[in-house]
């Protein structure tokens, strides 16, 4: 600010309240005020020295880090005090420091001001997402309303298929109190290994893990011989045709099982593709 001349101005200490560093903010305002004790005219370098009580110690009304706002009839600016040990020196004000949420107006920060890798939680109002903005397979079943058809896959080992007469294989877990799982269909895909399945009994999807296929049937059924195939193949179960016993189906999972006896000898593996939805019962 050396050599800059401002017309008569009024110096005032605005405030240091709310300033965690305890620094002061000063203003030079060209408008008349009642504070006559702060009348000052900037006429040469070193003018601010008069506002230091002890030049040697560098203490006084002006401190390093203080901000000075100048609004004069022939000049204005914003400066930060950088040295007060001998003469007061100022530098250009740089936008730096920490701004907390209390100093931000509601709605002041736009999406353009946010770094894409720095946002953990984003509050979005009235967001409309079109299908063109969604990546393929971006919406999972977990993001859908329960009454929308859900999808799940379940791997089934040969040991589990052979043992599901006594220990039914879970396909879908129970959805909670006052809910009923309504089966849409199951595609059971078999990858043939080397040995055919034998024995066994009628296969179906049932509610709950009741042994020996004694649970309430939730799907159509397939005969045991259907699974004696000597090649990789697929089997489909549709929604059940047997009336559901309501009280025994609420808050029950879906399980694959068979009746009569267990399958034997087979070593092929399966993947069950299950489509279903969950409805409220109250």
Q: What is the CATH number of the domain that holds 267?
A: 2.60.120
Structural domain span for residue 272? 143-280
Are 147 and 276 contained in the same domain? Answer: yes
Give the number of domains in the chain: 2
- pLDDT tens for each residue of the chain, 282 residues long: 333 333 334 444 554 444 445 556 665 554 444 444 333 455 556 666 665 555 455 455 667 777 777 665 556 677 777 776 666 677 776 655 667 777 777 777 777 777 666 555 555 555 566 667 677 777 776 677 767 899 999 999 999 999 999 999 999 999 999 999 999 999 999 999 999 999 999 999 999 999 999 999 999 999 999 999 999 999 999 998 766 667 789 999 999 999 999 999 999 999 999 999 999 988
Whether 124 is covered by a domain: the verdict is no
Whether 155 is covered by a domain: the verdict is yes
Whether 110 is covered by a domain: the verdict is no
By C-alpha distance, which of 228, 199, 1 is closest to 93?
A: 1
DSSP string, 88-111: -EEEE----S---GGGS-TT-S-G
Are 170 and 73 contained in the same domain? Answer: no
Q: Which of 69, 92, 115 is the last residue of a domain?
A: 92
Are 163 and 65 contained in the same domain? Answer: no
DSSP 59: B
Model-wide pTM > 0.95: no
Whether 186 is covered by a domain: the verdict is yes
CA distance 99 to 102: 8
Spell out the long-range contacts of 89-96 with Cβ–Cβ below 8 A and sequence spacing 24 or more: 90/1, 90/48, 93/67
Are 271 and 159 contained in the same domain? Answer: yes
Are 162 and 270 contained in the same domain? Answer: yes
Whether 82 is covered by a domain: the verdict is yes
Are 75 and 202 contained in the same domain? Answer: no
Are 151 and 274 contained in the same domain? Answer: yes
Q: Count of CB atoms within 10 A of residue 266's CB?
A: 23
């Amino acid at each position: 600010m050396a050599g800059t001349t401002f017309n008569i101005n009024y110096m005032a200490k605005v405030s240091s309240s709310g300033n965690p560093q305890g620094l002061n903010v000063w203003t030079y305002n060209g408008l008349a005020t009642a504070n006559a004790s702060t009348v000052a005219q900037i006429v040469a370098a070193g003018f601010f020295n008069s506002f230091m009580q002890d030049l040697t110690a560098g203490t006084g009304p002006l401190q390093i880090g203080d901000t000075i706002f100048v609004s004069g009839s022939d000049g204005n600016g914003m400066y930060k005090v950088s040295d007060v040990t001998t003469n007061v020196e100022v530098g250009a004000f740089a936008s730096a420091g920490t701004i907390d949420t209390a100093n931000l107006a509601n709605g002041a920060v736009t999406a353009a001001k946010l770094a894409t890798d720095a946002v953990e939680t984003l509050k979005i109002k009235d967001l409309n997402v079109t299908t063109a903005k969604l990546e393929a397979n971006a919406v999972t079943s977990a993001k859908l309303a329960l009454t929308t058809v859900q999808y799940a896959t379940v791997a089934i080992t040969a040991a589990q298929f052979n043992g599901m007469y006594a220990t039914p294989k879970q396909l879908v877990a129970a959805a909670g109190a006052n809910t009923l799982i309504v089966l849409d269909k199951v595609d059971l895909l078999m990858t043939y290994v080397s040995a055919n399945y034998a024995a066994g009994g009628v296969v179906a999807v049932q509610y709950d893990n009741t042994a020996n296929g004694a649970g309430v049937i939730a799907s159509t059924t397939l005969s045991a011989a259907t699974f004696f195939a000597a090649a990789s193949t697929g089997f489909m179960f549709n929604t059940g045709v047997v009336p559901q016993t309501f009280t025994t189906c609420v808050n029950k999972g879906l399980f694959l099982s068979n009746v009569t006896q267990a399958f034997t000898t087979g070593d092929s593996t399966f993947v069950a593709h299950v489509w279903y939805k969950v409805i409220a019962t109250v």
